[in-house]
Amino acid sequence: MIQTAQTAPSNELAAWLRLEQAEGVGPATARKLLAAFGLPENIFAASYAALSQVVPERVAQALKTELSPQTQAQIERTLEWADAPENRLLTLADVYYPKALLDIPDPPLVLYVKGRAELLNAPSLAIVGSRQASAQGVKNAENFARAMSNAGLAIASGLALGIDAAAHRGGLDGVGSTIAVIGTGADIVYPARNRELAHRIAFDGGCIVSECPLGTPAISANFPRRNRIISGLAKGVLVVEAAAQSGSLITARMAAEQGRDVFAIPGSIHSPLAKGCHQLIKQGAKLVESAQDVLEELRLQPLPANAAATPADAQAEPQATQLLDAMGFDPVSPDQLAERTGLDAAALAGLLLTLELDGRIERLPDGSYRRLNG
């Protein structure tokens, strides 16, 4: 392996991988061992008697057992994977390991990263919700994510269908980009329907991260565990749509336990997909109706209109100018704007949200909009 300022020598990484895959060693046990002996090489060099003072005898025995051919092959395969320029292994001792995860009770021992690893230390917001989202829920997730990303936040989610996928798309459209925390190996895309999106995240400015060893398939028990990473990376968690028993509520609970803010978008009292959000609001989550609500709570402001401009930004600005021209200076409803501009509902909603966040228009109590500042 070629060593750089950002890459540990392969023998050090091999020791971390061996510790990660040792029988009976989870994050909590690993931290005990590291606290007692230092780096993994020291753990494997310690005597059985010394290890038994820190961990149960069966774990000490596992640590002194010679590597199986299967484990050795897995370590070699992983080191080869990490040699690819888009891939990284981050251990607890790595200076690039996300600092936010060090605050949670059981940070992963090793993170498998594909894409821009530096995003893991950027300010981020998690956006999660139902896999069977409504069309409006998908639009809300994408629009909120785009606005938050344009405020400089990386958007963290779980690469699931529905709300997660919409959040990732919105994050990629903004300057903050997106982080996909997955419950499989970093060499596996699940669900397969998100393959194109995963490729875009990994190679078009985003980041995919997993604590699961390469080759780990989609196992149901891994997904609730990965939720602690989604919430742990973020300043807060926004739940867009969630049924009463949704996995998104697990993410929200973990966020609250980790001291993160929890936000929820309300919906119709008749919608099953609103019940989880309403439950969270009853429990103290902050009700939000606009991206600005979240930004104000996090004490953030949208980036200036000309910050980090991209071709997509340039295209959006002419559309925004055309929309302002169509709006005039009297209050106007979204339906009237749709008639005047020919924009579809999703594009119109996104532009209105952006203009509102930029302080160029305001939303009136009756749902209409009015142009500001001349």
pTM of the model: 0.78
Token representation of residue 271: 């919608």
- 283 and 330 in a common domain: no
pLDDT band of 366, cuts 50, 70, 90: confident
Tell whether 172 and 272 lie within a shared domain: yes
C-beta of residue 169 within 8 angstroms of C-beta of residue 142: yes
Position 155 scores a pLDDT of 98
For residue 1, pLDDT beyond 60: no
- Do 68 and 127 fall into the same domain? no
Does residue 196 sit in helix, strand or coil? helix
Tokens for 312, please give them. 């997509």
* Residue 135 exposed, middle or buried by CB count within 10 Å (0-12, 13-18, 19+): exposed
Six token digits for residue 354: 């952006």
Query: Is residue 263 domain-shared with residue 337, that is, in the same domain?
Result: no
96 in a structural domain: no
Same domain, yes or no: 318 and 246: no
Going by pLDDT thresholds of 50, 70 and 90, the confidence category of residue 328 is confident
192, pLDDT greater than 50: yes
Q: Which two tokens stand for residue 159?
A: 């690469």
Can you give the CATH number for the domain in which 284 is found?
Answer: 3.40.50.450
pLDDT tens column, 89-102: 999 999 899 999 99
- Report yes or no: 219 and 267 within 8 Å, Cβ to Cβ: no
In a domain, 345, yes or no: yes
Q: If residue 207 lies in a helix (H) or strand (E), which one and from where to where?
A: strand 207-210
- Boundaries of domain holding 4: 1-83
**Model confidence at 307: pLDDT above 70:** no
pLDDT at 349 over 70: yes
Q: What average pLDDT does this structure show over 36-44?
A: 94
- In this structure, the answer to whether residues 182 and 263 fall within a common structural domain is yes
Q: Same domain for 136 and 263?
A: yes
Confidence class for position 343, pLDDT limits 50, 70, 90: confident
Neighbouring residues of 256: CB distance < 8 A, sequence distance ≥ 6: 262, 284
- Based on the fold, state whether residues 187 and 228 are members of the same structural domain: yes
Within a domain: 31: yes
- How high is the pLDDT of residue 5? 34
Q: Which two tokens stand for residue 16?
A: 């971390």
- Run of H or E residues at 336: helix 334-341
pLDDT band at 311 (very low <50, low <70, confident <90, very high): very low
109-138 pLDDT, tens digit per residue, is 999 999 999 999 999 999 999 999 999 999
Domain-located, residue 128? yes
Where does the pLDDT of residue 8 fall: very low under 50, low under 70, confident under 90, or very high at 90 and above? low
Please tell me which residue, 195 or 354, carries the higher pLDDT value. 195
Rounded average pLDDT over 229-254: 94
Query: Would residue 57 count as lying in a domain?
Result: yes
Of 264, 297, 330, the last residue of a domain is 297
Query: Lowest-pLDDT range, 66-70, 148-152, 263-267, 368-372?
Result: 368-372
CA dihedral 298, 302, 307, 312 (to 10 degrees): 110
Q: Is residue 244 part of a domain?
A: yes
Whether 276 and 341 share a structural domain: no
Are 71 and 173 part of one and the same domain? no
**CATH code for the domain in which residue 32 is found:** 1.10.150
Phi, psi at 369, each rounded to 5°: -125, 150
Query: Does residue 135 share a domain with residue 64?
Result: no
Alpha-helix residue ranges (DSSP H) falling in 65-162: 69-82, 135-150
> Does residue 62 surpass a pLDDT of 90?
yes
Tokens 């888009």 belong to which residue?
86
Whether the Cβ atoms of residue 126 and residue 255 lie closer than 8 Å to each other: yes
Whether residue 51 is predicted with pLDDT greater than 60 in this model: the reply is: yes
Q: Is residue 283 part of a domain?
A: yes
pLDDT at 2: 30
Q: Which of 325, 277, 316 is nearest to 149 (CA)?
A: 316
CATH of the domain at 321: 1.10.10.10
Q: Kindly state whether residues 141 and 18 are assigned to the same domain.
A: no
Q: What is the largest CA-CA distance in the chain?
A: 81
Question: Whose CA is closest to 278, among 252, 236, 235, 244?
Answer: 244
CB atoms within 10 A of CB 255: 27
Query: What are the φ and ψ backbone dihedral angles of 325, each rounded to 5 degrees?
Result: -60, -40
- Local structure of residue 100 (DSSP, 8 states): G
| Predicted confidence band of residue 315 (pLDDT cuts 50, 70, 90) | low
176-185, 223-232, 294-303, 320-329: the lowest-pLDDT one: 294-303
Q: Is residue 95 part of a domain?
A: no
- The SS3 of residue 172 is helix
Q: What are residue 295's phi and psi, to 5 degrees?
A: -60, -40
Radius of gyration of the chain (CA): 23
Number of domains in the chain: 3
The answer, yes or no, to whether residue 153 has pLDDT greater than 90, is: yes
pLDDT of residue 372: 81
